[in-house]
Amino acid sequence: MLRLLASTCARGLGARGGSWRLVPGGRARPIAGLCDPSRRLSRQASDGPRNQPPSSEFVARSVGICSMMRLPMQATPEGLDAAFVGVPLDIGTSNRPGARFGPRRIREESVMLRTANPSTGAVPFQFLKVADLGDVNVNLYNLQDSCRLIRADYQKIVAAGCVPLTLGGDHTITYPILQAIAEKHGPVGLVHVDAHMDTADKALGEKLYHGTPFRRCVDEGLLDCKRVVQIGIRGSSTTLDTYRYSRSQGFRVVLAEDCWLKSLVPLMGEVRQQMGGRPIYISFDIDGLDPAYAPGTGTPEIAGLTPSQALEIIRGCQGLNVVGCDLVEVSPPYDPSGE
């Protein structure tokens, strides 16, 4: 799971002005980033020193504060190109709780992440300024109020020109995040990896929980529905036409069974064409992966994606105009290995 987040970071941090690849001699040259290549780096990235996660060659992994990749903590997004943000909320879950502990555990395990990715050539921290903004101070006794608090914090992050890289938290949190992002960018495209579509209308009379965020986003016009793809969908349902709502809105629904035993590189080529150059958001629910690989989640479903397919999805987003991303539904109590 941490490797997925690292790949998201490595590609997502290129969002302000391109990713970079090492070439012989130790020099770096730009390659196509997640965002429109014509967008310039912000003045924050082009001026002044950039933060570097400490190397375990010089600082033991058990040393330091528990921030994402041991990056510096920062109170505000000013001066940053991208930032990790925790949203420790799980009162929107319908099955097993525990995702409130996700951001903390992700940060704990992130000491294993290094600054360069030899497979992709990404060295984001050489060119972009990134920090950890800590957690949104959610209200664990009131889901509506928590969404208000999340939206308010993300409005400040987005207004500062900082790309939010979110550590969840249950999938409810994506709704207020997209509210803030759409205020600046308008309706966005969506690459949504999940076992579930999360487009239910309500449950137990409530219209807000982790099964409804994208229904609420459609209701409020936050998504460019012709540029939404949902990958890894599977599991039993209460009806036989469970995909009808998503498809009726124009979403592309890619079932997990259509991904079995194959590379997703061709699929992601089609997704890049579908998304074009306009802003998109990536939302990765960890239960998109088969629970054999990622048991630490609240609503596991068998026969899911493999880690290599997940990497193909994230790497396949290279060149897209990503304005934010999240990793959600990480519930550490159900993964005793700590992975």
Residues of each annotated binding site for Mn(2+): 171, 194, 196, 198, 285, 287
Of 158, 135, 84, whose CA–CA distance to 327 is shortest?
84
Burial class for 67, CB neighbours closer than 10 Å (0-12, 13-18, 19+): buried
Tell me the angle at which helices 174-185 and 143-159 cross, rounded to the nearest 10 degrees: 30
CA dist., res. 323 & res. 185, Å (int): 8
CA dihedral for 219, 220, 221, 225, sign (positive or negative): negative
CA dist., res. 315 & res. 11, Å (int): 7
Write out the binding residues.
171, 194, 196, 198, 285, 287
> Contact, 170 vs 332, CB < 8 A?
no
Residue 288: how many CB atoms within 10 A of its CB?
Answer: 29
Tell me the angle at which helices 2-12 and 307-315 cross, rounded to the nearest 10 degrees: 10
3-state DSSP call for residue 165? strand
Residues 6+ apart with CB under 8 A from 76: 133, 156, 160
Q: What are the two backbone dihedrals, phi and then psi, of residue 226, each rounded to the nearest 5 degrees?
A: -75, -5
Torsion of CA 177, 15, 19, 84, to 10 degrees: -40
